[in-house]
Amino acid sequence: MIPEFGHFALIISLGLALLLSVVPLLGSFRGDQKAMAMAPSLAIGQFVFIAIAFACLAWSFVADDFSVALVANHSNSLMPTVLKFAATWGNHEGSMVLWILFLSAWIAAVAVFSTALPLVLLSRVLSVLGFVAVGFLLFSLLTSNPFERILPGTPQDGADLNPLLQDPGMIIHPPLLYMGYVGFSVAFAFAIAALMGGRLDASWARWSRPWTNAAWAFLSLGIMLGSWWAYYELGWGGWWFWDPVENASFMPWLAGTALIHSLAVTEKRGLFRSWTVLLAIFAFSLSLLGTFLVRSGVLTSVHAFASDPARGVFILAFLGLVVGGSLTLYAFRAPAVQSRIGFEWVSRESLLLFNNVVFLVATLTVLFGTLFPLITDALQLGKYSVGPPYFNAVFLPLMALLIPFMGVGPTSRWKRDTGRRWLQELVAPAIAALIIGVLFPFVYGGEFNLWVMLAVILAGWLALAMLRDLYMRLRSSRWRSIPASYWGMQAAHLGFAITVVGVVLVSQYAVERDLKMRPGDVEEVAGYSFTFNSLEPVQGPNYVADGANFTVLRDGKAVAVLQPQKRRYLASGQVMTEAAIDAGPFRDIFIAMGEPLEGGRAWAIRLHYKPFVRWIWAGAIAMAFGAFLTLADRRYRRARQRATAPLGGGLEAA
Amino acid sequence: MHPVRKQRLILVCFIVVFSTLAVGLVTYGLRGNINLFFPPAEIAAGLAPTGQPIRLGGMVVEGSVRRDPESLRVEFDVTDYQATVTAVYTGILPDLFSEGEGVVAAGVLDENGVLQATEVLAKHDENYMPPEVAEALSQAHDEATGS
Amino acid sequence: MHASEPRHRSGVALKRLKLFLPLGLFLVLGGFLLVGLRLDPQALPSALIDKPLPSFSLPALGQERVVDQGMVTGEVSLFNVWATWCVSCRIEHPFLTELALNGLPIYGINYKDEDAEALRWLDELGDPYRLSIVDAEGSLGLDLGVYGAPETYVVDAAGVIRYRHVGVVNELVWAQTLKPIIDELRREQRAGDRS
């Protein structure tokens, strides 16, 4: 009964979403107050029913209802309850329901928190969001019904969840990622509503900003968790592969980063308006494109879901409708929202413009590299693959180009600034960063290393310029009077510097050795000695494993005992590498078992030493934390009280 | 000059310079960093370049995996049932690598027609074959039947 | 004023045109994605669906006789492509044996394999097949368009291929896909017999 109930709730949710996408929108053009006022209740109702549907699905998983095809295919009675719950979204159909649940949660949140918005704008925003929900609900119901039963012929037990996904990282990674993906739909809906109304002012930007920042923060956390999960779960110590599915989440992040900064200019100075609208459309389009790439099977990847051409056609059609429609609207209506004020070149505006150009170009080059195999295949030029070297060669110089300007950003002034002031303010951090950067490779690595030097100079420059600006601010004004958005900006930019240091140091100084070892062997890697003590069989709840036991010593002192495993999952017969990691703030020690040699008497073993690898994720957490922090800014709460403030109301201090 | 027009001019110059830079980076990044897929039959026919990164895909020939007793060096033959090419790899093979299963090896072809692999990817699950391998094998079928 | 107006107007038109640029780029991209979907590398052509089993004349495994398509048709049956080199075949083997025990006719196509090894495998694991057609050269496999093993075909009483399954046959595949098709075919057959 429960699955049927869930299916029914899904259908009701679709009905409410349909009403939401039509009634308030029509009302907004006819000036029908009653129709417009229906929007928030419809939004909340739609959320309630999708939540019921999700709960029913999760219940089917937790209660081992193997008569539901999805449960039978992706769960197993031997799995712990937490994993059964997570298995709800460890598959295409279930993850779609989670996706719609989050989309509806965002819609409901807009409905609840935006009561002060002009009703016309609010009803249009909610209608656009309702339309997006209709698309995904139809997709779920028509091409990937999660509640399908297998009756009769219910299997005794399920086929098990892919062992790669049986992991705590997997429980939270997709939800965060989806929160980010669908979060950009709010910025998109605001943009479309502005184009419809032909009115785009500072209060519009002030309304979109917190939503965009929140979505961006979730997406950052989601990407960071995915990278961390790949690092410890895929068994070979990589943390970023430029895999099509990773790129699918990274492109909206890059476009979203541009959008956040462009929104700042639109709010403070009323500039770049049509550009901001275009970026909002762009960021959400890339979210949809990512969904298409992951779920249609046009590109192959370790993360991709099993493909079904019908699904691909549906998403592509929806993508065409949403993106094509909004870009057409943009082409006709953009002149109505265009800004007519010029700006000075030496000013914060131009620095943020530079940020936008860099991030846009970065997005496009990643997009190009991701789709290149598809394009050459479509043009019948052969089956190419584009590897990480391409992305590194293109992406890293762009980021390096960005950082010098990032250091100037916070110190710079809106409207008009002078080069001489910048020089005065920033000559000290620049010199300090140069000294630290030049010395660091010698002190840490014992020899000159160009890339490490460059990275430390750039990151040091960014961090010191940021901290100097903070110091100056604290000297001139009271701690409490500094707005939350400033603290958020500080945290996010410092986080970026931390990530840069982590990425470059781990790529330059990591030591990775693959060796053949027998129990009793001792190997030396990066000053640590690894003793292979023993091999023993391990019995897990739903797997059996070969376990190894290693002692790691440094200068004769024990550092860690590590126990990597090679697991064989019983239900699916899949083999999995379980790496053992000793984590630290300045280095990780990573051991993974490769394959048995000589009939199991010896093993191929990976011994890795990874300095500063945690900094990559620590920086990403700081960026996400910063973006969340901006939500606490008093300005946004005040905006709720006087949502219709005219342009220029936002010209107060940053 | 009118200030707005001047600003536009600078903007245009900026965009031109920046897009040239971006296109340059992309071209540089693509050169030598993309690799074309070859089935064994095309390599045997001498169609694949030597000394350039390529990918080879097919089935691992049953009984062809030979391991070096002292190191992690391993040799195996890859076939599309038309021709067979030997690949050499040093390192840890993926969990799903096994004889009689699909495989994709990336590396450089040497003068002896042996692929010096730097990366080996195995098929992902029991029912999945790398699409390129599936296509190469089906082409081999077509050629064998003369269709 | 008048002289500058046309230029001004063309400037506006150009500006308007520029705004269509994102839409144009998107349409090009969408075109590629559409072609990409059609190229779907994993979609397997099923050219032989609803066509009769290709004609062949091949030895039966472990027997002295040669069989052709006429000798293996007449009732709704499964044709299972298998080989000793195929890991997944071993996984589906027990389930096929179970199906055979319940009376379902299953014919094997022993694909690109050694007779001796194939016989040893059937000896060890049991033989679910009415008979196994020896396709050592893979010629029948070529005619069927076999990509790899295991593959399983549903063939009706008239010897027409009605469904193709790529990959392992297990409880789920059986319950969700194969069984409904076979039940339907049997109903058709009975209806045909009666009329």
Burial code (b: 16+ CB inside 10 Å, e: under 16) for A512-526 equals eebbbbeeeeeeebb
Nearest chain A residue to C20 by CA distance is A331
Neighbours of chain A (3+ CB pairs under 8 A): B, C
Taking only the tens place, the pLDDT of each residue in C153-177 is 899 888 888 888 877 788 777 887 8
pLDDT given at position B139: 53
- pLDDT(B44) > 70: yes
The minimum CA-CA distance between A478 and chain C, rounded to whole Å, is 46
pLDDT given at position A304: 46
pLDDT given at position B3: 64
Taking only the tens place, the pLDDT of each residue in A324-373 is 999 999 998 888 887 767 777 788 888 898 899 899 999 999 999 988 88
Rounded CA-CA distance A518/B21 in Å is: 52
Nearest chain C residue to B129 by CA distance is C42
Range in A579-583, B125-129, C178-182 with the lowest mean pLDDT: B125-129
- pLDDT(A260) > 70: yes
Nearest chain C residue to A328 by CA distance is C23
pLDDT given at position A233: 80
pLDDT given at position A161: 74
In the structure, what pLDDT confidence band is assigned to residue A432 with cuts at 50, 70 and 90? very high
Residues A130-142: what's their mean pLDDT? 95
Q: Which residues of C touch B (CB under 8 A)?
A: 41-42, 44, 83, 85-88, 91, 112, 138, 142-143, 145, 147-148, 166-168
Please tell me what DSSP assigns to residue A123: H
Taking only the tens place, the pLDDT of each residue in A138-169 is 999 998 899 988 776 677 777 777 777 777 77
Percentage of chain B beyond pLDDT 90 is: 7
> Global pTM?
0.82
Q: Contact at 8 Å (CB) between C153 and C145?
A: no
Residues C79-99: what's their mean pLDDT? 82
Name the residue among B28, B36, B130 with its Cβ closest to that of A384: B36
Domain ranges of chain A: 1-161, 513-612
Cβ pair A342:B7 closer than 8 A: yes
The minimum CA-CA distance between B111 and chain C, rounded to whole Å, is 31
- pLDDT(B31) > 80: no
Taking only the tens place, the pLDDT of each residue in A371-404 is 888 888 788 777 777 878 888 888 999 999 999 9
ipTM: 0.80
Residues A160-180: what's their mean pLDDT? 81
Name the residue among B10, B25, B55 with its Cβ closest to that of A385: B55
pLDDT given at position A335: 85
Which of C23 and A344 is assigned the larger pLDDT?
Answer: C23
pLDDT given at position A415: 81
Cβ pair B29:A575 closer than 8 A: no
Q: What are phi and psi of C43, to 5 degrees?
A: -75, 125
Neighbours of chain B (3+ CB pairs under 8 A): A, C
Range in A79-88, A584-593, A639-648 with the lowest mean pLDDT: A639-648
Residues A518-523: what's their mean pLDDT? 92
Taking only the tens place, the pLDDT of each residue in A18-60 is 999 999 999 999 988 999 999 999 999 999 999 999 999 999 9
Q: What is the 3-state secondary structure (H, E, C) of A522-553?
A: EEEECCEEEEEEEEEEEECCCEEEEEEEEEEE
The H or E element that residue B104 is part of is: strand B102-109
Total residues belonging to chain B: 147
pLDDT given at position C80: 92
Name the residue among B7, B34, B126 with its Cβ closest to that of A386: B34
- pLDDT(A654) > 70: no
Name the residue among B62, B132, B134 with its Cβ closest to that of C147: B134
In the structure, what pLDDT confidence band is assigned to residue A255 with cuts at 50, 70 and 90? very high
The CA-atom distances, in angstroms, between C53 and each of A99, B63, C145 are: 45, 33, 12
In the structure, what pLDDT confidence band is assigned to residue C111 with cuts at 50, 70 and 90? confident
The H or E element that residue B23 is part of is: helix B3-30
- pLDDT(A136) > 90: yes
In the structure, what pLDDT confidence band is assigned to residue A302 with cuts at 50, 70 and 90? very low
Residues B102-110: what's their mean pLDDT? 86
- pLDDT(A206) > 50: yes
In the structure, what pLDDT confidence band is assigned to residue B4 with cuts at 50, 70 and 90? low
pLDDT given at position B52: 81
Percentage of chain A beyond pLDDT 90 is: 55
pLDDT given at position A624: 97
Taking only the tens place, the pLDDT of each residue in C67-78 is 888 888 888 999
Q: Collect all residues of chain A within an 8 Å Cβ-Cβ radius of residue C174.
A: 153
Residues A288-308: what's their mean pLDDT? 67
Question: What is the DSSP annotation of A459-525?
Answer: HHHHHHHHHHHHHHHHHHS-GGGS-HHHHHHHHHHHHHHHHHHHHHHHHHH-EEEEEEE-TT-EEEE
The minimum CA-CA distance between B14 and chain A, rounded to whole Å, is 10
pLDDT given at position B144: 45
Name the residue among C15, C39, C172 with its Cβ closest to that of A155: C172
Percentage of chain A beyond pLDDT 70 is: 95
pLDDT given at position B48: 82
Residues A70-79: what's their mean pLDDT? 84
Which of A2 and B57 is assigned the larger pLDDT?
Answer: A2
Q: What is the mean pLDDT of chain A?
A: 88
Helix axes A119-143, A2-30, angle to 10 degrees: 150
pLDDT given at position C10: 56
Cβ pair A296:C179 closer than 8 A: no
Q: What is the mean pLDDT of chain C?
A: 80
Q: Collect all residues of chain B within an 8 Å Cβ-Cβ radius of residue C83.
A: 100
Residues A80-85: what's their mean pLDDT? 89
Cβ pair B127:C167 closer than 8 A: yes
Q: Collect all residues of chain C within an 8 Å Cβ-Cβ radius of residue A378.
A: 32, 35-36, 39
- pLDDT(B1) > 60: no
Residues A276-294: what's their mean pLDDT? 91
- pLDDT(A219) > 50: yes
Range in A252-256, A375-379, A456-460, B112-116 with the lowest mean pLDDT: A375-379
Q: Give strand pairing partners of A37.
A: none
In the structure, what pLDDT confidence band is assigned to residue B89 with cuts at 50, 70 and 90? very high
Cβ pair A386:B130 closer than 8 A: no
Rounded CA-CA distance A73/A60 in Å is: 12
Residues B132-143: what's their mean pLDDT? 50
Cβ pair A390:B34 closer than 8 A: yes
Indicate the pairing of strand B34-38 with strand C161-166: unpaired
Residue keyed to tokens 């077509």: B142
